[in-house]
Structure 1
Amino acid sequence: MRGGRITAPRTRSTGVIAAICAGMLALASCASGNDAVVQGGTFDFVSPGGQTEIFYDPPAERGTVGKLSGPDLMEEGETVGLEDFEGQVVVLNVWGQWCGPCRSEADDLEEVYQASKDRGVAFLGINVRDNFQDKAQDFVVDNGITFPSIYDPPMRTLMAFGAGYPTSVVPTTIVLDREHRVAAVFLKELLAEDLQPVVDRIAAEDTQDR
């Protein structure tokens, strides 16, 4: 397994530093929640040289994330998780309404979702560190976000990405292939032009490459 990096033009000044919105959280503290379901996978997070755009290829060498589900942010009493998107490419986005870069990239994520959903691409948000659910719900409504999110204030679902995953970086976007193996990780705010070609490439992967 190897990581690589591509560069894409950016028009926003927030950059990587602005993407790190919060201090370190110990993974053990994330495990204290009991409202999200997580089981281990085979994914081993690797960030060569501290890169913020990481790609895992070839497909056969990708690791899977753990089973991941939790309360639906917008639908009381409902749950949502990876099992709802079997056979689909899934774009996971870790976000919080308190995070400036999350606000900046919200419209870009929705743009890519709308452009890709008819090709078997799903988006699933993971809302973290928002202790007031109504504020997170207002964020979704105000930004016109139409894909679902797990409501996970204690960040317990992030355990599905393994012990080496940097829980301090918000927003983070993780692209899973159709077998829910990790194909790409972005540890920064995204523009549509950053994400769309990656989603297109992974959605177009031939089944023989799996």
Structure 2
Amino acid sequence: MRIVLPVLLACAALVAVLAGCSTGSDAVAQGGTFQFVSPGGKTDIFYDPAAKRGTIGKMSGPDLLTNKTISVDDFPNQVVVLNVWGQWCGPCRAEAPELEKVYEQSKARGVAFLGINVRDPEQDKAQDFVSTNHIQYPSIYDPEFRSLLALGGKFPTSVIPTTLVLDRQHRVAAVFLRSLLATDLQPVVDRLAAEGTK
């Protein structure tokens, strides 16, 4: 009994740690003041009113095409759409032209897009994806998820593509855990772009 009890307690602690890292029906991530919660397996999460929004941590990394450091901070007072993608990901391929369409229609109103390329150990393949899909906005090259640490270690990084929309103060206003159409994203971007002009 003296041996069994410590073993059981150690197992219970391990289960609690593993459960905290899971991406089941309740996913949580921390970074900055942002706490991501997806109750009941929701794929579209909105943080309104603005007072409920939290900020992410400092996110930066090498530009996929130039290897120069790029950061969310490079887009002050702009709505920023963060899209986590991989060239190996079928839904990412489907949504790429849709995201580009929203980017083209919104950039003149202070809306920036920043991709985060993950799980692509061969950088040239990811670069080819950008070229083939005529993607004009930059992406951080993050094959090992290092830049995503700004979102917290419990962010559901197994869900790709994922898109986060930050308001002009770079607070998280929306999270999409699925592939998007322009008609999904454009109204959200429009609303957030208008917030800063009132």
TM class by shorter-chain length?
0.7 to 0.9
CA distance in 2 between counterparts of 1:134 and 1:156 reads 19
| Equivalent residue for 2:53, pick from 59, 62, 66 | 62
Larger RCO: 1 or 2 (CA < 8 Å, sep 6+): 1
Is the Cα–Cα contact under 8 Å of residues 45 and 162 in structure 1 kept in the other structure? no
- The residue type paired with residue 56 of structure 2 is V
Q: Which one of the candidate residues 143, 148, 151 is aligned to 1:153?
A: 143
Moved over 3 A (4+): none
**SS at 1:185's partner residue?**
strand
Partner SS for 2:119: coil
Question: How big is the shift at 1:141?
Answer: 0.2
- Distance in 2 (alpha carbons) for counterparts of 1:204 and 1:188: 25
Sequence identity percentage: 71
C-alpha distance in structure 2 between counterparts of 1:164 and 1:129, whole Å: 17
Q: Does the 8 Å CA contact 2:159/2:178 hold for their aligned counterparts?
A: yes
Instruction: Measure, in 2, the Cα distance between the counterparts of 1:57 and 1:124.
Output: 23
Give the Cα separation in 2 of the matches to 1:146 and 1:185. Answer: 22
1:205 equivalent to 2:163? Answer no
Q: Distance in 1 between matches of 2:86 and 2:159?
A: 11
SS in 1 for 2:114: strand
- Tell me which moved more, 128-137 or 152-161: 152-161
Larger Rg: 2
Residue 97 of structure 2 is aligned to residue 97 of structure 1: no
Paired residues in the alignment total: 171
TM-score scaled by length of structure 1: 0.78
Distance 1:206 1:143, change over 3 A: closer
Output aligned runs, 1:172-191, within 5 Å.
Answer: 172-191=162-181
Is 1:42 matched with 2:21?
no
Q: CA RMSD in A?
A: 1.7
TM-score with structure 2 setting the length: 0.83
Question: How much does 1:162 deviate?
Answer: 2.1
Task: Give the AA of the match of 2:176.
Answer: F
Shift of 1:169: 0.3
**Equivalent residues in 2 for 1:64-143, closer than 5 Å:** 64-76=55-67, 78-143=68-133
Q: Which runs of 5 or more structure 2 residues have no equivalent in the other structure? A: 1-19, 22-29
Cα distance between partner residues in 2 of 1:206 and 1:180: 12
